[in-house]
């Protein structure tokens, strides 16, 4: 194959000879590099015979493989088309997407699910920008991800002379990610990729940008020197042990509680310290509240789970211990009416010291990785007294009351379906198939599914995350199927789905076991808005009675139109049994939803109204 490894240089090709750059550097590697560079230039002058050579393309591939990267999420184009072909030829799985944002979201969630950086590869300027949203998302959500983008000629870009897809990508990426690097020389590929990987996964994980100018791919160097230049990252995310006195302080505060509460965040799920987290929560005897993506760390049906008594535990608790959860908007910043008037003490466990005191005073900060912190806490707990029984009873009573209130609504068989009828069906299906991965986005579709569908195992629910963004759906579904081999159920608002809908072709092309259920209520929040000012439709409504199921049929997938809970149940079960790419258009009453789902209060209101 023309793109296989070369053993001899092609003097007539577009490949750049290795350039003897940075002669001032005197370290061993570079000394070898210099000699080698001279040799290669001789070779290029056709003076040498059978010297084995390698190039930037293959060094990047070798560096990724050496560090255990098995999958790339990408959209091809100049200057990375051949790179992707070669990656495939060298045994890396390349998932080729329809839009870089979706490839990027896929990479970000691959990072979350595996604790290895998910890798997204894009072309320059526009492809890079499309991927950048996902890189910023990964950083905000603390997912390890690499965005690797090809870029145009540095000399031309820096003089702003108008190159093909000209953009100073490194400068643009920097404020949006945890770290950003550029590699200019083939001999630096090994260390550059190692640095990027370590930056992504160590400490608090995040997104890292790696800029690869087109010229780098074609640079040639001696194969043995190239191999030697590669770096396998040793212990990329070293354990960070908490200070002993911080553990003692945290346990003292927790022990003093009359009404303790533990909040589990997705950082705790990411840590893959599942047994230790479970053992600690159970030994503490405290009710726990899982944030959305921490659901399933302990089953939602666990007797200590306070998910169905959220407002009670936030208001009435006196000590709150956060494990891998942040006091951001999702927890009302730890203050205000949701948290009640009673004084509260916070214990926070996080790998990032800056997280402490971000919104309110943290009485007991514990800085370290979640696994090490959990083990340290367990080791110091001794004979732990159960929290006062009346607190557990009060939480359980509230939970039971709310669950009982909800139960009949979930069993309704209304046509057209409402959210509760449709989600009641999905809740049962997930209970019967606890190892399936649930992807979820939308407004009402998100908020109601989060409350209604119980999750039973860690990292089985992936959703809009810290920013509440639409568009993660199909990228997440694809990566979840690829990385875990498990069936995926994506529960999508019709608007949310639209952000990544074209990737149903990708799902069909790779024949992935993904069942997409679209809650089609004809629009954003509701399908009933009317614009009285002109003949244009209201901004929140879509084509009425749209048939999203037809979309997947265009690519050979299974499409089903489901108008009742029974039809929905049959269609989802068939899809999960067959593993065939399936899209179900679940027809939901356009009147059923509410503005902005559960967060309507965040819509700004004019002060004028209050006059
Ligand atoms: C990237 C992005 N753009 C826009 C929004 C604003 N937004 C929030 S929810 C939503 C769509 C809600 O409609 P749908 O997905 O159909 O869910 P429904 O409430 O109708 O069930 C939009 C556009 C967002 N969160 N993220
Ligand atoms: Mg909708």
Ligand 2 centroid – CA 528 distance (Å): 11
Q: For residue 246, what are the contacts with CB-CB under 8 A and spacing of at least 6? A: 364, 365, 366, 367
Q: In which band, very low, low, confident or very high, does the pLDDT at 608 lie, cut at 50, 70 and 90?
A: confident
Beta-carbon count within 10 A of 244 CB: 10
Q: Which residue has the higher pLDDT, 29 or 318?
A: 318
Structure tokens at 280: 């600690």
Q: In a mutational test of the pocket of ligand 1, which residue from 442, 467, 587 has the highest number of ligand atoms less than 8 Å from its CB?
A: 442
Q: What is the helix (H) or strand (E) element at residue 411, kind and residue range? A: none
Ligand 2 centroid – CA 419 distance (Å): 11
Q: In a mutational test of the pocket of ligand 1, which residue from 421, 476, 493 has the highest number of ligand atoms less than 8 Å from its CB?
A: 493
Place of tokens 């926070």: 348
Secondary structure of residue 241 in the 3-state scheme: coil
Structure tokens at 425: 């069906």
User: What is the DSSP pairing of strand 461-463 with strand 488-493?
Assistant: unpaired
Mean pLDDT is lowest, of 154-163, 247-256, 420-429, 456-465, for 154-163
Ligand 2 centroid – CA 333 distance (Å): 28
| pLDDT more than 70, % of the chain | 92
Predicted confidence (pLDDT) per residue in 293-340, tens digit: 999 999 999 999 999 999 999 999 999 999 999 999 999 999 999 999
Atom nearest to 419 CA in ligand 1: 21
Q: In a mutational test of the pocket of ligand 1, which residue from 525, 588, 600 has the highest number of ligand atoms less than 8 Å from its CB?
A: 525
What sign does the dihedral 365-251-311-344 (CA atoms) show? Answer: negative
Predicted confidence (pLDDT) per residue in 409-434, tens digit: 999 999 999 999 999 999 999 999 99
Q: Is the pLDDT of residue 485 over 90?
A: yes
Q: Is the pLDDT of residue 529 over 80?
A: yes
Contact 438, 462 (CB under 8 A): yes
265, 597, 598 from 407: Cα distances, Å: 27, 20, 20
Atom nearest to 593 CA in ligand 1: 19
Ligand 2 centroid – CA 600 distance (Å): 15
Atom nearest to 467 CA in ligand 1: 25
Q: Is the pLDDT of residue 33 over 60?
A: no
Ligand 2 centroid – CA 451 distance (Å): 17
Atom nearest to 524 CA in ligand 1: 13
Q: Which residue has the higher pLDDT, 111 or 28?
A: 111
Q: What angle do CA 509, 88, 211 make, to 5 degrees?
A: 105
Sheet holding 207-213, edge to edge: 93-96, 71-74, 118-122, 145-151, 207-213, 179-182
Residue of 34, 36, 40, 35 whose CA lies nearest to 21 = 34
Secondary structure of residue 438 in the 3-state scheme: strand
Ligand 2 centroid – CA 450 distance (Å): 16
Contact 196, 214 (CB under 8 A): no
Distance, CA of 484 to chain centre: 14
Q: In a mutational test of the pocket of ligand 1, which residue from 136, 419, 422, 443 has the highest number of ligand atoms less than 8 Å from its CB?
A: 443
Predicted confidence (pLDDT) per residue in 549-574, tens digit: 999 999 999 999 999 999 999 999 99
Secondary structure of residue 520 in the 3-state scheme: strand
**Burial zone of 248 (CB within 10 Å; 0-12 exposed, 13-18 middle, 19+ buried):** middle
Atom nearest to 442 CA in ligand 1: 15
Q: What is the helix (H) or strand (E) element at residue 487, kind and residue range? A: none
Residue of 116, 367, 124 whose CA lies nearest to 247 = 367
Determine the average pLDDT of the residues in 10-31: 40
Of all protein residues, the one whose alpha carbon is nearest to atom 7 of ligand 1 is 470
Q: In which band, very low, low, confident or very high, does the pLDDT at 6 lie, cut at 50, 70 and 90?
A: low
pLDDT of residue 437: 98
Q: Is the pLDDT of residue 442 over 50?
A: yes
Contact 544, 576 (CB under 8 A): no
Length of the chain: 611
d(CA 396, CA 404) in angstroms, rounded, equals 12
Atom nearest to 471 CA in ligand 1: 1
Pocket of ligand 1, beta carbon within 6 A: 442-445, 468-471, 493-496, 519, 521, 524-525, 593, 597
Q: In a mutational test of the pocket of ligand 1, which residue from 130, 426, 448, 524 has the highest number of ligand atoms less than 8 Å from its CB?
A: 524
pLDDT of residue 87: 98
Contact 462, 439 (CB under 8 A): yes
Of all protein residues, the one whose alpha carbon is nearest to atom 9 of ligand 1 is 443
Predicted confidence (pLDDT) per residue in 592-602, tens digit: 999 888 888 89
Q: Is the pLDDT of residue 39 over 90?
A: no
Contact 467, 140 (CB under 8 A): yes
Q: Is the pLDDT of residue 1 over 50?
A: no
Q: Is the pLDDT of residue 14 over 60?
A: no
Atom nearest to 492 CA in ligand 1: 15
Ligand 2 centroid – CA 493 distance (Å): 5
**Residues around the ion ligand 2 (C-beta < 5 A):** 493-495, 521
Contact 464, 458 (CB under 8 A): no
Of all protein residues, the one whose alpha carbon is nearest to atom 4 of ligand 1 is 470
Determine the average pLDDT of the residues in 358-378: 98
Q: Tell me which ligand sits closest to the C-alpha of residue 444.
A: 1
Q: Tell me which ligand sits closest to the C-alpha of residue 520.
A: 2
Q: In which band, very low, low, confident or very high, does the pLDDT at 609 lie, cut at 50, 70 and 90?
A: confident
Q: Tell me which ligand sits closest to the C-alpha of residue 522.
A: 2
| DSSP-H helix ranges across 202-304 | 214-218, 223-229, 244-255, 266-270, 274-284
Contact 376, 239 (CB under 8 A): no
Q: Tell me which ligand sits closest to the C-alpha of residue 495.
A: 1
d(CA 18, CA 176) in angstroms, rounded, equals 32
d(CA 356, CA 363) in angstroms, rounded, equals 9
Q: In which band, very low, low, confident or very high, does the pLDDT at 257 lie, cut at 50, 70 and 90?
A: very high
Ligand 1 centroid – CA 459 distance (Å): 23
Of all protein residues, the one whose alpha carbon is nearest to atom 13 of ligand 1 is 524
209, 216, 556 from 19: Cα distances, Å: 24, 10, 49
* 100-114 vs 125-141: helix crossing angle, rounded to 10: 30
User: What is the DSSP secondary structure assignment for residue 237, as one 8-state letter?
Assistant: S
| pLDDT more than 90, % of the chain | 88
Q: Tell me which ligand sits closest to the C-alpha of residue 419.
A: 1
Q: Which residue has the higher pLDDT, 121 or 27?
A: 121
Ligand 1 centroid – CA 446 distance (Å): 9
d(CA 384, CA 148) in angstroms, rounded, equals 49
Q: Is the pLDDT of residue 443 over 90?
A: yes
């Amino acid at each position: 194959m023309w793109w296989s490894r070369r053993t001899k240089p092609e003097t007539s090709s577009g490949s750049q000879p290795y350039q003897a750059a940075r002669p001032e550097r005197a370290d061993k590697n570079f000394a070898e590099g210099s000699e080698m560079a001279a040799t290669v230039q001789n070779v290029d002058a056709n003076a040498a015979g059978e010297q084995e050579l390698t190039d930037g393309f293959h060094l990047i591939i070798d560096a990724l493989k050496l560090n255990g990267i098995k999958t790339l999420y990408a959209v091809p184009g100049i200057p990375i088309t051949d790179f992707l072909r070669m990656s495939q030829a060298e045994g890396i799985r390349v998932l080729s997407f329809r839009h870089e944002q979706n490839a990027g979201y896929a990479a970000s969630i691959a990072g979350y699910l595996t604790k290895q950086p998910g890798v997204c590869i894009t072309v320059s300027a526009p492809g890079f920008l499309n991927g950048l949203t996902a890189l910023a998302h990964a950083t905000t959500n603390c997912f390890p991800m690499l965005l690797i983008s090809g870029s145009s000629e540095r000399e031309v870009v820096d003089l702003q002379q108008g190159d093909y897809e000209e953009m100073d990508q490194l400068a643009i990426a920097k404020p949006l990610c945890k770290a950003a690097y550029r590699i200019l020389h083939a001999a630096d590929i090994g260390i550059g990729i190692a640095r990027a990987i370590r930056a992504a996964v160590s400490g608090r994980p995040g997104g890292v940008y790696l800029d690869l100018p087109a010229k780098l791919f074609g640079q040639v160097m001696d194969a043995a020197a190239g191999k030697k230049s590669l770096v396998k990252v040793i212990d990329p995310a070293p354990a960070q042990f908490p200070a002993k006195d911080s553990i003692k302080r945290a346990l003292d505060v927790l022990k003093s509680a009359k009404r303790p509460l533990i909040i589990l965040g997705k950082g705790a799920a990411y840590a893959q310290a599942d047994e230790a987290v479970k053992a600690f929560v159970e030994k503490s005897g405290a009710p726990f509240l899982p944030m959305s993506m921490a659901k399933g760390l302990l089953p939602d049906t666990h007797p200590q789970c306070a998910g169905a008594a959220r407002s009670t535990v936030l208001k009435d608790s006196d000590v709150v211990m956060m494990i891998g959860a942040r006091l951001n908007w999702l927890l009302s910043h730890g203050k205000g009416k949701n948290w009640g008037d009673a004084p509260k003490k916070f214990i926070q466990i996080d790998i990032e010291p800056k997280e402490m005191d971000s919104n309110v005073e943290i009485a007991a900060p514990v800085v370290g990785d979640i696994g090490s912190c959990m083990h340290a806490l367990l080791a110091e707990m001794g004979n732990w007294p159960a929290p006062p029984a009346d607190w557990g009873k009060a939480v359980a009573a509230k939970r039971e009351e709310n669950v009982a209130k909800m139960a009949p609504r979930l069993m309704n068989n209304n046509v057209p379906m409402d959210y509760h009828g449709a989600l009641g069906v999905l809740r049962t299906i997930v209970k019967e198939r606890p190892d399936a991965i649930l992807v979820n986005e939308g407004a009402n579709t998100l908020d109601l599914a989060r409350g209604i569908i119980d999750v039973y195992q860690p990292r089985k629910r992936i959703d809009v995350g810290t920013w509440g963004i639409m568009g993660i759906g199909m990228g997440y579904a694809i990566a979840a199927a690829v990385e875990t081999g498990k069936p995926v159920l994506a529960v999508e608002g019709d608007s949310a789905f639209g952000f990544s809908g074209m990737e149903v072709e990708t799902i069909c092309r790779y024949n992935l076991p993904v069942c997409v259920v679209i809650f089609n209520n004809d629009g954003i929040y509701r399908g009933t808005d009317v614009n009285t000012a002109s003949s244009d439709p209201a901004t929140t409504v879509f084509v009425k009675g749209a048939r999203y199921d037809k979309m997947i049929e265009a690519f050979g997938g299974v499409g089903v139109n489901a108008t009742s809970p029974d039809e929905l149940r049959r269609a989802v079960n068939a899809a999960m049994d067959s593993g065939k790419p399936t899209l179900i258009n679940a027809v939901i009453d356009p009147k059923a939803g509410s503005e902005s789902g559960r967060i309507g209060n965040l819509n700004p209101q004019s002060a004028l109204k209050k006059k």
